[in-house]
Amino acid sequence: MVLNEQNLKKALEQPLRHGVYYYYSTEEYLVRSYAAKTLALLAKQEDDAEVTRVEGPAPSIEEAVAAAGTISFFGTKRIVELPMLEPSAMNEADVGALCDLMQSLENAVLVMSTVFKDDKAKLSKKAKQLIGAAEKAGLTAELVKPGPQDAKRFAVEKARELGVVLSPGAASELVERCGTDLFALESELSKLAAVADYGEITPELIAQMGTQSIEADVFEMVRLVTARNKTRAMAKLSQLLELQNEPIAIAAALSGSFVDMYRVKCGAAAHRNYAAVHKDFSYRGSDYRLRKSGETASHYSRAQLEHILSVLLGLDAALKSSAADGTVLLQTKLRVEEVIVVEGKYDAVKLADLVDGLILTTNGFSVFKNAETKRLLVELGKKRGIIVLTDSDDAGFRIRNYVNKLAQGICVKNAYVPAIAGKERRKAQPSKEGVLGVEGVPSEAILRALQTAGAREKAKRAGRAITYTDLYELGLSGTEGSAGVRRAWLQSLGLPPRLSKKALCEVLNSLYTYEEFVQTVPGNSASLI
């Protein structure tokens, strides 16, 4: 007899008369649940029934045959359980022997269960052989993976068993956050019941307890981003990090959410419905998740989703290879208006991972004598203000004090990193005072120092920005002799000749409008303006 779950429930309410009970599904909870219920009913029906459990994905069929053929001491039927068997792990001879056993049972009952990765249509020959034999010998049931409505009913039923009440909307809230994983739902309900003192579980309590999988949490964050609610989205990210979720796992879930949206977007372009998309991509998630992804995907073009996925691919690579703190890589860079002054290039490299802004180095004590660097600091300081971020040792404070005196009359803010004992990884020996420089200080401490100093958010520039392409078109880069021309031009402006491409463009955009910049270049073409 082949039954669906609804008819199975009715059948188990009657006295059990079959020699074989075989439950299979892609949902492990259902398989284990019904096998356990059947065993309990058989034990109750057959007083003092003896149970033999033959474990393993490829159980010993000889042991099962011996147990089934042994007459119970109490004159009752012996119960033989074969839990979580996997036909694909069994050899053909054992599958055949088990099929023969099912047809020849006299004094025993077999209770078998299997969790398949694929639905019935994709099962192996051995799996179909075993199911066919079980159908002839007794009761079989293919337990269908629950959808959202099934999961809600399960939550309500489980809450009733626990002696608690789910207030209106609580079941929906729980399923939306946890998905349709019944193990997860049962676990969360047990926790919530205890917190609610076995009274009422509300949607507010579910949210307060952070009842959700990382995938559900990240999907909520994506929806907040889509709604352009940056503040709440960042708060959600902070919550995930505070709960000790790994940045790589968060990024993976983030990628998964946008991949789901891309799947739906591609399906819509090909006029395929959700069921078809599910099949086309061999999707292992729920239809419910795809539908939710479809609602969010409607706010993006296909090109935008492709760009986002490209960015996320870069994030994944950075998280797995970069020395930077994964937490920082996940979060939006701090946009700083002021020029940030650090001592050396390694400090600047560290800061570039954390901050979107202009970073200048003093090259240690060189700033004391370098007229170009001093002029640049003053001129940029007048335009944007300065934040001094030097090491916490004596040398760092000497440089800090010098910059502060140099920039008298200019808005100078001082950011202080803590004095942490240790040495940087690139160094063989610690510094003279044995404390970490800016490059070795934890990222969180640097960001906190900048925020405490009162760093302003970087403002959007009005007008056309100066780009490195402009330098090329004006003969200042990328052409024969351009390096010498650029050095002479920078010298005439009082700017250091060894600025990086990015820093040079930042400096130029800070000091000049595009029109002013063009006028500084000897022999410029008016057509460029």
What pLDDT was estimated at residue 529?
Answer: 36
What pLDDT was estimated at residue 491?
Answer: 82
Whether the CB-CB separation of 2 and 140 falls below 8 Å is answered with: yes
What pLDDT was estimated at residue 411?
Answer: 92
Least confident of 131-140, 195-204, 363-372, 515-524: 515-524
Residues 115-143, mean pLDDT to the nearest whole number: 87
3-state SS, residue 85: coil
Q: Report the candidate in 175, 185, 253 with the shortest Cα–Cα distance to residue 219.
A: 253
Q: DSSP readout, 377-397?
A: HHHHHHHH-EEE---SSHHHH
Residue 525, pLDDT > 80, answer no
Highest mean pLDDT among 12-16, 214-218, 397-401: 397-401
CA distance 347 to 344: 5
> How much is the pTM?
0.47
- Of the pLDDT bands very low, low, confident and very high (cuts 50, 70, 90), residue 187 is confident
What pLDDT was estimated at residue 494?
Answer: 79
C-alpha count within 13 angstroms, C-beta hemisphere, residue 358: 27
Residues 435-461, mean pLDDT to the nearest whole number: 85
User: What are the chain's domains?
Assistant: 2-143 (3.40.50.300), 148-208 (1.10.8.60), 217-330 (1.20.272.10), 334-452 (3.40.1360.10), 468-528 (no CATH)
Contacts of 414 (CB under 8 A, 6+ apart): 387, 388, 400, 404, 453
Residue 242, pLDDT > 70, answer no
What percent of the chain has pLDDT above 90?
Answer: 28
Which single residue is written with the structure tokens 């090491």? 391
What percent of the chain has pLDDT above 70?
Answer: 90
Q: Own/partner pairs for 484-491, CB < 8 Å, 24+ apart?
A: 489/520, 489/521, 489/522, 491/372
CA distance 438 to 343: 9
Least confident of 148-157, 219-228, 353-362, 482-491: 219-228
Residue 60, pLDDT > 90, answer yes
Highest mean pLDDT among 83-92, 206-215, 234-243, 425-434: 83-92
